Amino acid sequence: MQTQSKTKRRDFLKQSSLGAVGTLLATTMSVPHVHAAENNTINIALVGCGGRGSGAILDALRTEGPKKVVALADVFENRVAGTLRGVTEQFPADVDLPKDRQFVGLDGYRKAIDAVGTGGVILLATPPAFRPLHLEYAVEKGVHVFMEKSFAVDPPGVRRVLKAGETAKAKNLKIVGGLMTRHKRSMQEAIQQIRNGIIGDVTTCWAYRMHGPIGFGRKRDDETTLAHQIRNYSCFTWVNGSPLLDWLIHNIDVCCWAKNEYPVIAQGQAARRVRKDQDQIFDQYLVEYAFADGTRFQAQGRFVQGAWDCFQATIHGTTGCAIFGEGVSQPKIYRGHNPDSRNLIWEYTGPEFRGEYQAEHDVLFDCIRNDKPINETERCARTTMTGILGRLVCESGQRITWDDAFKSEKSLADVGALTSLDSPAPVMPDANGDYPFPVPGQTEVL
């Protein structure tokens, strides 16, 4: 696996402008607009009221300074109701949510962003297929953004995110992405130790997420095919970009962080040996990435019952190794390549403060209140593109360069065309209820 050139930062940003981004039309609905109060109150709205979204809005409400939740949006009414109960019970004084600012439907993101108003904060926590569209509209409306991972599901989506990020910089909007491990104090210290040469030169990286099966809910009699797929978004590629992207993204990010660059080429394989659910995901993934200097990085996912579980990132250097990342409570660094306690040479002993999920919101709101620059879009997009590259090589069975993957025009779905849960789903089952599935060696992905 060799390559003659490395995609540099300036090239990446230049390429991100390729491909036209559709013009966003202002909503024709009349939505009550909530103005920020003169006492520095920051208006907050949430789009995507699932578990992660409900957690994110509570984290936002725990930040310093006055703030007010003014809108909620989701495609499922029960999720809006559940989040409303949670924020009202825990922060009753910080909630202003009359019925006409509780939005249900695929167009709810526009209404929530319009309601929060210029200078407010939108929390984007829907499945990642919708992230580029929602981010574009938020930036157009002058709204600061917290966006959960993952940030796109295909190369055109990554380019849209990058372009929105550049527009946000020009508008002095603040954007923080949900790669929360980057905001964990112990991880920041561990990476600095690696930068200082504690394990020598980084030679190999491994990103692991191996545990039991990914949950799947059978289609209900009263729900449409599109609603079924969104409700089970981890199981349909167009919605979440595959578990390799959406479930391994944190440790993929940690490995690239430790190496301080992104891979330039990859090859891989995947299999569906155990899973019987009528969905689109493999239950095993293995991707071998290569960096520009030829060193390797491997991402491995397995989601079956009874097998060996491993949830961490492992970094090997010329003189030592590190064990950290998502799934590891505290990072540790060892002499040599055997992570035995007798070889321990560093572990974090300082305070963790309020944890990485809270820290990412603390950073965002502090930057808004004190007008500090922060825009994590590029890093989020590059990590997402790394996961997408892994999906492409697994589905196709081919070796693919970063550059070829990044410039691909192949989109998994036109989510802007989905107007309601009655809209035709981007993928449909056959007469037996089975969905189309990639065949390595035959499936074309570029």
Share of the chain above pLDDT 70, in %: 91
For residue 284 the two structure tokens come to 């095993």
Residues 195 and 323 in one domain: yes
pLDDT in tens, 180-215: 999 999 999 999 999 999 999 999 999 999 999 999
Residues 148 and 170 in one domain: yes
419 located within any domain: no
Phi first, then psi: give them for residue 31, nearest 5 degrees: -120, 130
CA 15, 21, 26, 32 torsion-angle sign? negative
Residues 206 and 106 in one domain: no
Q: Which of 122, 175, 118 is nearest to 141 (CA)?
A: 118
pLDDT in tens, 272-282: 999 999 999 99
pLDDT in tens, 308-344: 999 999 999 999 999 999 999 999 999 999 999 999 9
Tell me the whole-structure pTM to 2 decimals. Answer: 0.91
> Per-residue confidence at 29, pLDDT binned at 50, 70, 90?
very low
CATH number of the domain encompassing residue 144: 3.40.50.720
C-beta neighbour count of 158 within 10 angstroms: 25
298 located within any domain: yes
Using the predicted structure, report yes or no on whether residue 413 has a pLDDT greater than 60: yes
Average pLDDT over residues 168-179: 98
> Per-residue confidence at 9, pLDDT binned at 50, 70, 90?
very low
Using the predicted structure, report yes or no on whether residue 39 has a pLDDT greater than 90: no
CATH number of the domain encompassing residue 300: 3.30.360.10
- Total count of domains within the chain: 2
423 located within any domain: no
Q: Are 316 and 207 in contact (CB under 8 A)?
A: no
Predicted pLDDT at 44: 98
How are beta strands 284-290 and 265-271 bridged, if at all?
antiparallel
Phi first, then psi: give them for residue 433, nearest 5 degrees: 85, 5
67 located within any domain: yes
Residues 224 and 169 in one domain: no
Residues 337 and 285 in one domain: yes
Residues 272 and 395 in one domain: yes
2 located within any domain: no
Residues 198 and 321 in one domain: yes
Residues 6+ apart with CB under 8 A from 240: 127, 128, 129, 150, 153, 233, 234, 246
Structural domain for 152, as ranges: 9-181+357-377
Residues 56 and 167 in one domain: yes
Average pLDDT over residues 157-165: 98
139 located within any domain: yes
> Per-residue confidence at 353, pLDDT binned at 50, 70, 90?
confident
445 located within any domain: no
Using the predicted structure, report yes or no on whether residue 107 has a pLDDT greater than 50: yes
Give CA–CA dist 121/125, Å, rounded: 13
- Least-confidence region, from 2-16, 64-78, 111-125, 363-377: 2-16
Using the predicted structure, report yes or no on whether residue 3 has a pLDDT greater than 90: no
Residue type present at position 134: H
Residues 371 and 401 in one domain: no
Residues 20 and 88 in one domain: yes
Share of the chain above pLDDT 90, in %: 90
Average pLDDT over residues 144-155: 98
Q: Which of 57, 92, 91, 90 is nearest to 73 (CA)?
A: 57
> Per-residue confidence at 10, pLDDT binned at 50, 70, 90?
very low
Mean of all residue pLDDT scores within the chain: 92
Residues 118 and 216 in one domain: no
Give the count of alpha carbons within 13 A of 339, CB side only: 15
pLDDT in tens, 44-94: 999 999 999 999 999 999 999 999 999 999 999 999 999 999 999 999 999
Predicted pLDDT at 354: 80
424 located within any domain: no
Predicted pLDDT at 22: 31
Residues 77 and 99 in one domain: yes
Helix, strand, coil percentages in the chain from 3-state DSSP, rounded to 5: 35, 20, 45
